[in-house]
Amino acid sequence: MKTFQLCSMKIIDNDRRDMLQQDIPLLDGLIINREDEQNQWVVEAYLDQSYHEFFQNLRQKQEVLLQVKITKESNRPATFITSVIGINEIGKQMNVLFRGTIVDQQKEMIEERLRSLIKQGYQGQSLLKKFKEKV
């Protein structure tokens, strides 16, 4: 297992068409790559108790999309499909535990560029040449 510092976290509401993002102000947090067969990660967000009701409601959802920054704020965000596995009160604070898998956005971006080029009529060697220019 590998453990990293969680720098920022957003909840992405995928029930709405506009993909509303809710910034969650963290007091602290960890993200753990379990390195198991399912490629699961655990995210622990330590935050103010005022978010208790919000996360209790979120716990009812089967899937919760998270967008997090790991180690430092300047890193690109990583997206996870998770579920809430625990909420614990700790004095005037609380922690929320999520378990889920990372979404490979880089792969998705590459696939989207390739689809776009194919729609534009590129194929064979011309497709390969144009794809290398774009990537």
Q: What is the pLDDT of residues 58-91, one digit of tens each?
A: 999 888 989 999 999 999 889 899 999 999 999 9
Residues in the chain: 135
pLDDT single digits (tens) 86-133: 999 999 999 999 999 988 766 666 677 777 888 888 887 787 777 777
Q: Which amino acid is at 74?
A: S
Whole domain around residue 117: which residue ranges?
A: 105-135
Classify the phi-psi angles of 102: left when phi > 0, otherwise alpha if psi is within -120 to 50, otherwise beta: beta
Query: Do 96 and 116 belong to one domain?
Result: no
Q: Are residues 27 and 81 in the same domain?
A: yes
Show the CA angle centred on residue 44, arms to residues 6 and 53, nearest 5°.
115
Q: Average the pLDDT over 45-59 and give the result.
A: 95
Structure tokens at 56: 């209790």
Residue (of 101, 109, 88) closest to 44 by Cα position: 88
Predicted structure pTM score: 0.76
Residues 83 and 99 in one domain: yes
pLDDT of residue 114: 76
Choose the weakest-confidence range: 22-26, 28-32, 70-74, 101-105. 101-105
96 contacts 86 by C-beta, under 8 angstroms: yes
Please count the structural domains in the chain.
2
Residue 93's CATH number? 2.30.110.10
54 φ, ψ to 5°? -55, -45
Q: Is residue 132 domain-shared with residue 86, that is, in the same domain?
A: no
Do 118 and 64 lie in one domain? The reply is no
